């Protein structure tokens, strides 16, 4: 079981793209040489990258040369030491409307190697360095955001291992917009380690020109031991945005949502009046939960389960009894699955043919997964190690099925453990901050809630107040709804062909119209540009167009029939 990177291949840049100026600072070269460090490797890494992806560039090695560079994109690889003359040239480049891609430390030392602090990074690159990753002994993973202007090729929350190597520790930064964080394997949110690992923004210069900047908070030295393809994907996305090239990617969630939250309740002991009261509170807050129950409790819980269903909540299977599935023979597991469905049906409880399954105690094996596929279960609640990303995925082998099994990994802690580890007021705030970070990442958040929970009605009201706030862009959905949206999303293939008038090619597979709208997010070449489309060569009906933010718009595929669509993109 593994998360597949299913995004489209990185598109080539248009033939008329402005070139990149790769800056090899003589001051930084001298500083590295004094410390017996290799100053060439960081430049060679970017030259190899630019050649590989056929991105035109020129090598610049003095401030005088930089003064003559047309405003495209200035690439500054770990430019630790800069002279005052170089600093002015970089600021002037931005003033002319040029964009900057900087990695790690920039201008923190002067021409004599003396420490100057982070002032230049704040004034020139719009970031504030608040620390490094040195204290975070377990924070060894770069976790990029998904569906982000500068990180959209990789799935949300995908783990990228980074070596812990002194003095090459990643930075923790704050800025207007973040695109990645350095976290531990479990992606546990900690209020004690603020700051992002990638920050970006766009600002209007006194000249009136707009200038973009992206800061990658890690040095090129860490590319050597990391999965280079993953870091290349981030670099390519960042450069494409800085070069103001349109980009198209299938959003993880239905428009206009940026994240999904599922309330998941395992009920091994049946349901109490307290649980029904909580279900009513969920319903009144506009949130429908997914309950997983044991079939052995079907008779005694039948009335309660029917009440849940009448409220609109979803009911799935927790098993026939609360025993491990792992390491049981196929025959035993077959009998358990058959008993599970029969007992539920005999109790008068009607469940969907593609109802979901949450294994008791997260205990399952390859046989369990295979039987779930064979018996056409709709979704499967999986533990955190089922995926490297924080998104659903279709189980391997099911990608061409009409109704494939969708795996929903639990990607962070439940609400009760967070509250238990902290004072109630502080704990709820931490949990909401964790959900806020998940929203920024574009992730799936499964909020695990036990029966007879000690979370109070007041705390739930506060939590729903955040989740339902206008700016949250949260989709409160059942597990089944999320699984179905992921099936519809998997039917859509997207390709953007560059050119003076970019061509968006969309293929929808399957036999029926899209039952749920799928969104394709488009990076705009100009801030606040208005996107419009026309059909090329009579290819199909036009999609709806929606706004995401100043940098992106959405092409919304709502109810479209299977087939190929070709749309010209215009930016006004």
Residue appearing with tokens 């980074």: 162
Select from 246, 253, 306, 318 the least CA-distant residue to 279. 306
pLDDT value of position 15: 44
- Does the pTM of the predicted model rise above 0.85? yes
CB 491 within 8 A of CB 505: no
362: which 2 tokens?
């997260």
Residues 8 and 154: their CA atoms lie apart, in Å, by 10
Write out the residue limits of the CATH 2.60.420 domain(s) in the chain: 491-571
Q: What is the pLDDT of residues 134-172, one digit of tens each?
A: 766 789 999 999 999 999 999 999 999 999 898 899 999
Mean pLDDT, rounded, of the chain: 93
The boundaries of every CATH 3.40.50.880 domain in the chain are 20-244
Domain(s) labelled CATH 3.20.20.370 in the chain stretch across 259-484
Q: In the chain, which residues have pLDDT < 50?
A: 6-8, 15-16
Q: How far apart are CA 564 and CA 387, in angstroms?
A: 31
Let me know: does 474 contact 369? Beta carbons within 8 Å.
Answer: no
Fold annotation for 491-571: Maltose phosphorylase, domain 3 (2.60.420)
* pLDDT, position 424: 63
Q: Which residue in this structure is represented by tokens 């002067």? A: 110
- The region that residue 397 occupies, defined by phi over 0 for left and psi between -120 and 50 for alpha, beta otherwise, is left
Coil, helix or strand for 113?
coil
The domain over range 259-484 is classified in CATH as 3.20.20.370: yes
3-state secondary structure of 500: coil
What is the CATH class of 20-244? alpha beta
């Amino acid at each position: 079981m593994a998360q597949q990177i299913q995004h489209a291949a990185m598109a080539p840049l248009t033939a008329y793209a402005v070139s990149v100026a790769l800056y090899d600072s003589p001051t930084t070269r001298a500083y590295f040489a004094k410390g017996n460090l290799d100053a060439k490797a960081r430049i060679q890494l970017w030259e190899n990258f630019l050649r590989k992806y056929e991105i035109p560039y020129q090598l610049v090695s003095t401030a005088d040369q930089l003064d003559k560079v047309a405003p495209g994109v200035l690439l500054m690889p770990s430019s630790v030491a800069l002279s005052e003359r170089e600093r002015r040239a970089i600021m002037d480049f931005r003033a002319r409307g040029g964009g900057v891609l900087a990695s790690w430390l920039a201008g923190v030392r002067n021409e004599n190697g003396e420490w100057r602090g982070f002032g230049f990074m704040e004034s020139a690159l719009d970031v504030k360095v608040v620390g490094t990753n040195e204290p975070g002994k377990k924070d060894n993973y770069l976790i990029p955001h998904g569906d982000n202007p500068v990180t959209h090729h990789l799935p949300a929350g995908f783990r990228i291992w980074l070596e812990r190597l002194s003095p090459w520790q990643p930075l923790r930064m704050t800025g207007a917009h973040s695109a990645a964080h350095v976290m531990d394997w479990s992606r546990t949110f900690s209020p004690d380690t603020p700051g992002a690992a990638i920050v970006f923004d766009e600002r209007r210069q006194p000249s009136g020109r707009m200038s973009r900047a992206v800061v990658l908070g890690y040095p090129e030295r860490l590319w050597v031991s990391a999965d280079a393809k993953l870091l290349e994907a981030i670099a390519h996305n960042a450069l494409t945005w800085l070069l103001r090239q349109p980009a198209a990617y299938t959003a993880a969630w239905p428009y206009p949502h940026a994240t999904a939250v599922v309330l998941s309740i395992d009920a091994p002991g049946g349901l109490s009046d307290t649980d029904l009261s909580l279900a009513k509170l969920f319903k009144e807050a506009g949130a429908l939960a997914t309950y997983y129950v044991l079939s052995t409790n079907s008779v005694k819980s039948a009335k309660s389960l029917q009440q849940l269903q009448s409220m609109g909540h979803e009911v799935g299977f927790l098993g026939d009894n609360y025993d491990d599935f792992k390491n049981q023979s196929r025959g035993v597991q077959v009998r358990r699955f058959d008993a599970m469905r029969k007992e539920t049906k005999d109790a008068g409880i009607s469940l969907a043919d593609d109802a979901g399954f949450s294994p008791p105690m997260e205990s399952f094996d390859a046989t369990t997964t295979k039987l779930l596929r064979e018996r056409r279960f709709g979704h499967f609640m999986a533990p955190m190690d089922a995926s490297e990303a924080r998104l659903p995925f279709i189980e391997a082998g099911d990608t061409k099925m009409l109704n494939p099994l969708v795996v929903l990994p639990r990607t962070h802690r439940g609400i009760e453990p967070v509250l238990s580890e902290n004072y109630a007021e502080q704990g709820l705030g931490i949990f909401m901050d964790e959900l806020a970070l998940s929203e920024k990442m574009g992730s799936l958040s499964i909020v695990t809630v036990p029966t007879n929970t000690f979370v109070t009605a007041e705390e739930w009201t506060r939590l729903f107040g955040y989740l339902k706030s206008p700016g949250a862009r949260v989709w409160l959905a059942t597990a089944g709804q999320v699984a179905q949206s992921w099936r519809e999303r998997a039917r859509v293939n997207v390709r953007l062909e560059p050119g003076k008038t970019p061509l968006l090619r969309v293929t929808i597979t399957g036999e029926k119209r899209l039952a749920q709208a799928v969104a394709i997010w488009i990076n705009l070449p100009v801030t606040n540009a208005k996107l419009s489309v026309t059909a090329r060569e009579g290819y199909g009906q036009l999609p709806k167009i929606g706004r995401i933010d100043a940098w992106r718009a959405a092409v919304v595929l709502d109810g479209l029939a299977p087939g190929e669509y070709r749309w010209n993109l215009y930016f006004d």
